[in-house]
């Protein structure tokens, strides 16, 4: 009688982090549909049941990946932000940082912006969005108080700015723009967002 080898236990540190790293690699290489907890266990070298200790199902894994993406995006934006800069220079630095993140993490960003999240993660996801998109809205609200931009709902202004930036990221992801051209165009994008296209 041939005995099947037992699944070897995971001995290499943080299993959750290793599972997320392998899941992100699969997401980049083969897309969201290729992700499964069973395949993830195999790739990580653990038993089929091991991922279940951290993720109750595939949606919980996707939620965790999205939250990881938001955390990295927040760190990227925090690292690029300098409140001492004039508004246009500050926005340009943030826009360049966002676009760089979007170019390097296109699949992850798409997952982050997917609204089909598990209700269990809704509070965490809302907090993650607030740390990223919410920080931009607060920046616009502060600029309004200083009289640097027009009055109005800062949420709507943020939506316009975010749509412009994400549109550029999408054009890059689909090959209509090269990453170099997208990044080179950031100054112009921010200028148009702040000043509009109407002759003065």
Between CA 170 and CA 92 the distance in angstroms is 18
Cα–Cα distance list, 77 to 66, 122, 173, 195 (Å)? 16, 22, 20, 23
Please write the tens of the pLDDT for every residue from 126-136: 899 899 989 99
Give the model's pLDDT for residue 117: 58
Residue 178's CB is within 10 A of a number of other CB atoms, namely 12
For the entire predicted model, the pTM comes to 0.85
pLDDT tens per residue, range 20-40: 999 999 999 988 888 889 888
Q: 1.10.10, 1.20.1740, 3.40.630, 3.40.50: which CATH number matches 11-56? A: 1.10.10
Q: What percent of the chain has pLDDT over 90?
A: 62
CATH topology of domain 71-115+129-200: Tetracycline Repressor; domain 2 (1.10.357)
Q: pLDDT tens, 60-118? A: 899 999 999 999 999 999 999 999 999 999 999 999 999 999 999 999 999 998 866 56
CB-CB contact of 80 with 97 (8 Å): yes
Chain region(s) in the chain for CATH 1.10.10: 11-56
């Amino acid at each position: 009688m041939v005995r099947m080898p037992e699944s070897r236990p995971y001995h290499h540190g943080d299993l959750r982090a290793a599972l997320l790293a392998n899941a992100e690699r699969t997401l980049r290489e083969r897309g969201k549909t290729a992700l499964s907890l069973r395949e993830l266990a195999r790739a990580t070298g653990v038993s089929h049941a091991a991922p279940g200790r951290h993720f109750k199902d595939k949606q919980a894994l996707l939620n965790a990946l999205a939250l990881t993406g938001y955390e990295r995006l927040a760190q990227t934006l925090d690292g690029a932000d300098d409140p001492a800069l004039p508004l246009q220079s500050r926005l340009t630095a943030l826009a360049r940082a966002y676009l760089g993140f979007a170019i390097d993490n296109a699949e992850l960003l798409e997952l982050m912006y997917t609204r089909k999240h598990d209700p269990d993660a809704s509070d965490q996801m809302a907090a993650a969005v607030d740390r990223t998109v919410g920080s931009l809205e607060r920046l616009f609200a502060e600029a309004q108080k200083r009289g640097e931009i027009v009055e109005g709902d800062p949420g709507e202004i943020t939506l316009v700015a975010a749509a412009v930036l994400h549109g550029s990221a999408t054009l890059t992801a689909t090959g209509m723009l090269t990453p170099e051209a997208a990044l080179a165009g950031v100054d112009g994008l921010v200028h148009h967002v702040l000043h509009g296209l109407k002759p003065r």
